[in-house]
Amino acid sequence: MNPLEDIAEAFSFLEQEHGFLCVTRRYYPSLFGNAVVEYESPVLRVKVVRDRTQYFCAFAVRRDPIEWVDLDTLLHDLGEQRELDDLSSGELLSLEAVAASVRRHFVRLAALFDDRVYAESCARFNEYKRARVRTLFGDRFADQLEARRPTRP
């Protein structure tokens, strides 16, 4: 199978159990075999990316502009630190592991994007992302990024 078929099979539960439709399927054989598959429901988007040999997943509400939130951030927000550590170990960024994690936590993941709690969820997501940048790159770099960040009305 090619990566698009692999992703479609692993994430078929989105269509079969949660009413999503596959809206984007892109395969880049000349770019290390990278691929992108996007799904949409009436309120939520899910993106699966194959980057070389690793797979990543992100969620977004279905409105513009699209603001993707990666699975790592979402698992952290749900308090699933052990699973996050396992997925982040590198060896476990397999398609099967990522799909299993999304499937296992799907209801809780989707709830983070409910209109009633989405603003609070975004605030937590952004705080976690800022803390992660500080940890990985230091205060000086994080401060520079923060200073360049556009403010929202």
Q: Residues 6-19: pLDDT tens digits?
A: 999 999 999 999 99
- Mean residue pLDDT of the chain comes to 89
Q: Residues 25-60: pLDDT tens digits?
A: 999 878 777 999 999 999 999 999 998 888 999 999
Q: Compute the C-alpha angle 95/97/99, nearest 5°.
A: 65
Helix, strand, or coil (residue 41): coil
Closest C-alpha among 73, 75, 68 to residue 101: 75
Structure tokens of 133?
Answer: 């940048």
Contact at 8 Å (CB) between 95 and 7? yes
Distance from C-alpha of 115 to C-alpha of 135, rounded to nearest angstrom: 31
- Given this model, what pLDDT does residue 150 score? 63
| Residue 91 reports pLDDT greater than 60 | no
Predicted TM-score of the model (pTM): 0.87
Give 85's pLDDT tier (boundaries 50, 70, 90). confident
**How much is the average pLDDT of 68-79?**
95
Contacts for 90 with CB less than 8 Å, ≥ 6 apart: 54
Report the interhelical angle of 3-10 vs 95-111 (nearest 10°).
50
Structure tokens of 46?
Answer: 């899910």
